[in-house]
Amino acid sequence: AQKNGYNNYQFFVREDNTVHDRKIKIEQGLKKALHNNEFELYYQPQVHLKSRRIVGVEALLRWKHPELGNISPYEFIPVAENTGMIIPIGKWVIQEACRQIKLWQSAGIRIKIAVNVSALQFEDHQFIELVNESLSQNLLPPKYLELEITESVMQKINQSFAIIGKLKNIGIKVSIDDFGTGYSSLSVLSNLPIDVIKIDKSFVSKMMTDENTASLVKTIIEMGSNLNFGLIAEGIETEEQAEFLMQNGCHLGQGYLYSPPITKEEIGKLLNKENVV
């Protein structure tokens, strides 16, 4: 029994080390990643569900670690947030997105990019300056940049109000990402100058099989429309989901049904082929 116990102990230590090593490698790697050009933005089309025409794209960050390979943002973004690295990384994301909008514009493609912004970045005192500079350096009208923040940003409601107000003044749209997964109520949101509610993909994936989720989605759409928010659903994978959303009044969406996130070259080809709205 003792030997077994010992073996088990060894086993867990080794497992632990692997997890720990990986975390260290990610932490260390993040510090060099910008300098070594290891980040890339992928783009997922946002479409008008009925016509399938592209109305915008969401930028999603990709990181290829030299040793560990591709790492999901679900894994490295939290580490970047904990170490503060999210500030320079998030800065790069906004600058890169603005450079891309500009490149597309020069090629005759006018499309807006939605960029994910973490709460830490949003609260950074240089954030507004960064947004302003990124737009002006590329001579971009602000309507081509949209920012996606999560409900966690809303926890500091007064501060958020001021920042969103400033973004509003610049002319930038702000969306609430993963809507419904946090704790903020629609009544709180109704007091914020938010433009768009993004219906979280966890609801979209369950709404065809779970009645409560279906009701929840209907309620979000109804209240959102009444409060004059734009609505967009994420994670649409089937025609049935798209149909349900349209019938209940949500007309924009994104998901694998239309396209996964793809490289700038790939999405450039898609955008070229059609008249972008």
Residue 183: φ, ψ to 5°: -115, -5
- Chain centroid offset of residue 93 CA: 11
Length of the chain, in residues? 277
**Cα separation of 204 and 257, whole Å?**
12
Neighbour-count burial of 186, counting CB atoms closer than 10 A to its CB (0-12 exposed, 13-18 middle, 19+ buried): middle
Tell me whether residue 15 or residue 250 sits nearer to Ca ion (CB atom).
250
**Position 116 contacts ligand C2E (CB under 6 A):** yes
CB of 116 to Ca ion, least distance (A): 5
CB of 147 to ligand C2E, least distance (A): 10
Give the binding site for Ca ion (CB under 5 A).
116, 148, 177-178, 200
**Cα separation of 7 and 1, whole Å?**
10
Mutual angle of helices 73-83 and 86-106, in 10-degree steps? 120
**What is the SS3 assignment for 90?**
helix
Among 18, 36, 73, 170, binds ligand C2E (CB under 6 A): 73
**Cα separation of 183 and 176, whole Å?**
12
**Position 134 contacts ligand C2E (CB under 6 A):** no
User: Beta 54-65 vs 69-71: how paired, if at all?
Assistant: antiparallel
Residue labelled with tokens 């002006």: 136
User: Beta 69-71 vs 113-116: how paired, if at all?
Assistant: unpaired
Among 261, 264, 268, 271, binds ligand C2E (CB under 6 A): 261
Tell me whether residue 146 or residue 200 sits nearer to Ca ion (CB atom).
200
Binding segment (CB under 6 A) for ligand C2E, from list 8-16, 26-34, 115-123, 223-231? 115-123
**Position 93 contacts ligand C2E (CB under 6 A):** yes
CB of 135 to ligand C2E, least distance (A): 17
**Position 74 contacts ligand C2E (CB under 6 A):** yes
Binding segment (CB under 6 A) for ligand C2E, from list 10-18, 188-196, 234-242, 245-253? 234-242
**Position 178 contacts ligand C2E (CB under 6 A):** yes
Which residues sit at the interface with ligand C2E, rule CB under 6 A? 44, 60-61, 72-74, 77, 90, 93, 116-118, 177-178, 201, 234-237, 255-256, 261
